[in-house]
Amino acid sequence: MTKAEIVSTGMYVPNNIVTNDNISKIVDTNDEWIKSRTGISERRISINENTSDLATKAALKALKTGNINPKDIDLIIVATCTPDSFIPSTACIVQKNIKATNAFCFDIDAACSGFIYGVNIARQFIENKSIKKALIIGSETLSKIVDWKDRNTCILFGDGAGAVILKEGESSGIISSYMESCGDKGDFLRCDTVPLYNPYSKCNTKEHINKVSMEGREIFKFAVKAIIKTIKKVLQCSNYNIDDIKYIVPHQANYRIIDYVSKKLNIDKNKFYVNLDKYGNTSSASIPIALDDMNSKNLINNNDKIILVGFGGGLTSGGLLIKWGSNILK
């Protein structure tokens, strides 16, 4: 059976490094608090690049390392909750930038689970043989929706983009997947768009808040439950058990969440790939950034089994169990 296999990875983060000490000049916080509660040391904050700029650079890296002509890309999906604009989609802007003239393109928003959802959508087109190659990007400029006066949230997030190219594979590729959403818990992590304001509406625009707000403890509780359930589900839907898995690549939100899950499932902490200390929470970009990081460090080899697991706003969660292929380029 045709599988959808990752053949190359790419990432891009803005040059501007913002340390915890830098943030402590903006809000009442300190390096020790942020590190001990989250594991984050620094993050990248964009000065003049928007989500499509980051996405384009991550995509160009994935195309270059995979030696793939943009004209051979059939589908571009950008997972983002911080698009440049309502219209056009960020995916269409990337298409223009990289000259992928034969692709159809759209954005999805599943917040921090967006990359998992995007890969799972693209996978369907490849497995049913309606397309050959897809570019999936997670890209965010969360800095534009973060409330820089709120120390509960502004310390957590960073800007960045990660990309993968999927193509048909036979023996390696996506083995199993699981996705779940809990819309009834959506208010725990939210950011509004523009208010409904028109000649017929009674909207009070002054009440409008378009910055991130979060119930941190509720999200923490949701995250650990979602990661545990997702890992169990993708394993159940495969012929593998946890000992067969080389790495778990979780959404990079908080080291304490990962630590809690590793203890609860009795999984060696070293099995979880963590790079949130350098980038913070980059939402839909965090998993593909981690994958590119691992790929460039030669951490994943042919036939390795890895689990990717995302969770976040919506609330959403999802995972993929992947058998890494020999064709993957660094």
Closest CA to 260 of 300, 299, 219: 219
Name the segment binding ligand COA (CB under 6 A); options: 49-57, 66-74, 87-95, 219-227: 219-227
Which residue sits closest to ligand COA, CB atoms considered? Answer: 216
Hey, which residues between 266 and 305 contact ligand COA (CB under 6 A)?
A: 281
219: its two tokens: 């999200």
Query: Is residue 112 involved in binding ligand COA (CB under 6 A)?
Result: yes
CB closer to ligand COA, 92 vs 111: 111
Q: How far separated are the first and last CA of the chain, in Å rounded? A: 26
CB-facing half-sphere around the CA of 191: CA atoms within 13 A: 18
- Check 112, 120, 154, 191 and give the catalytic one: 112
- Give the footprint of ligand COA on residues 41-100 (CB under 6 A): none
Annotated catalytic residue 120 = no
| Residue 40 in contact with ligand COA, rule: CB under 6 A | no
Determine which one of 20, 120, 254, 281 is catalytic.
Answer: 281
CB 98 within 8 A of CB 63: yes
User: Is 112 labeled as catalytic in the residue annotation?
Assistant: yes
Q: Quick one: angle between helices 114-127 and 286-296, nearest 10? A: 70
Helix residue ranges per DSSP H, 177-275 = 216-236, 255-264
Query: At its nearest, how many Å lie between ligand COA and the CB of residue 219?
Result: 4
The helix (H) or strand (E) run that includes residue 92 is helix 90-98
Q: For the window 233-272, what string marks contact with ligand COA as x by the rule CB under 6 A?
A: --------------------xx------------------
Q: How far apart are CA 213 and CA 182, in angstroms?
A: 18
- Quick one: which of 144, 151, 190, 271 contacts ligand COA (CB under 6 A)? 151
Length in residues, the chain: 330
Asked about 251 being catalytic, the answer comes back as: yes
- For residue 216, state whether it binds ligand COA (rule: CB under 6 A): yes
Active site residues: 112, 251, 281
